Structure 1
Amino acid sequence: MSIAGPSAGTVATTYLPTPKDVKEQLAGLLGRDVSLSPTTPMSPGSAEAKTVAVYVDDRLGVRAVIACDLAFSAYAGAAIGLVPPSGAAAAIEAKALDETLSENLYEVLNVMAAVFNAEGAVHVKLRDVHPSGTRIPPAVHIRLVPLGRREDFTVDIAGYGTGLFSVVVCA
């Protein structure tokens, strides 16, 4: 995960993680097989419930967002906490994460900050998580629009299920 360092007088950019970076981080974190396949970008205008995590630099400037649909949110939150798949299914049926799944998903998204922190890139950290089933502020939601520096995946978490996962670099 290294990129060329910035030259004198330039501003470091945010690293866009590769599919391999994302897969390895998720598989290691969740302790199970994870498969990724490319998909179309998640639409910010869609009414479908989604979780959005906001990553900032040291000056609190937004550098990246990760968006996950309700299915990924529930499955990842369940998998990391060893919650049975039925717990994730209940959240999907209720169209909202319970407190346990929300807290577990926060941990997943917090650790995912590491995929942005490549050598020579600006350092980012998790600032906020807006869990699936809650209102996402418009200023955060609009960050899903960029089509240039992003990766969009269908992610299958072995033993749990499949959901959508998008990484969008904002700066």
Structure 2
Amino acid sequence: MRTTPTPDAVRTLLAGLLGRQVTVSDLAASECAGALAGRYVTSADGEVAAGFVCDLGAAAYLGAALTLVPRTQAEECIANGQISDTLGENLTEVLNIASRLFNDAGWQHLRLVDVVDAVGAEPWRAVGTFSVEVEGYGAGAVQLVEVTPANQAVRSG
């Protein structure tokens, strides 16, 4: 049975990956102004089935915390409105590992296919929106999303 990843599951995964305390709490779906989205495809048919959307703060802080890039570099990216190549590569690795959130929740086996601009990436349906604060770095918003057959009809119709 497929379930929605919980704030505790997100916290456990990110804290374990980053090696530092991560605080995760629920947000309203409208509170995540996505900047970047990791898109996950099913192993069976290669269709995009889910995504992990990050606002610029979450993208920068998660990317920086992975390899201990100074917080000031993440803050510069946020101020400039664009994530650096280094933090982008790090974020891609975080999102690759984050596929476990879906796989452990009983979804079809998913794998990260790419990280894209979140605006217009897919006709998403939010399944969870969270505030994520990384100890020593900062906070941002993330949204776990799915693409359903009804959503796909919107895209192709």
What TM-score results when the alignment is normalised by the length of structure 2?
0.85
Match of 2:113 in 1: 127
Greater fraction of residues in strand: 2
Match of 2:39 in 1: 54
Match of 2:94 in 1: 108
**Identity percentage of aligned residues:** 36
Letter of the 1:80 counterpart: L
Q: 1:119 to 1:89 in 2, by over 3 A?
A: closer
What TM-score results when the alignment is normalised by the length of structure 1?
0.78
Q: Distance in 2 between matches of 1:61 and 1:127?
A: 10
CA contact (8 A) 2:34 2:118 kept: no
Q: Which runs of 4+ in 1 moved over 2 A?
A: 118-121, 135-138
Letter of the 1:29 counterpart: L
SS at match of 2:139: strand
Match of 1:90 in 2: 76
Aligned CA RMSD, in angstroms, stands at 2.0
Letter of the 1:163 counterpart: G
SS at match of 1:142: coil
Equivalent residues in 2 for 1:1-171, closer than 5 Å: 4=1, 15-42=3-30, 50-58=35-43, 59-118=45-104, 121-130=107-116, 135-136=117-118, 138=120, 140-143=121-124, 146-147=125-126, 150-171=127-148
Offset from partner CA, 1:97-120 (integer Å, 9 cap, x none): 111000000000000001111375
* 1:137 Cα deviation after fit: 6.4
Paired positions, count: 147
* 1:136 Cα deviation after fit: 4.5
Q: Distance in 2 between matches of 1:79 and 1:42?
A: 26
CA contact (8 A) 2:41 2:113 kept: yes
Larger radius of gyration: 1
Letter of the 1:38 counterpart: D
CA contact (8 A) 1:155 1:165 kept: yes
Greater fraction of residues in helix: 2
Q: 1:39 to 1:120 in 2, by over 3 A?
A: closer
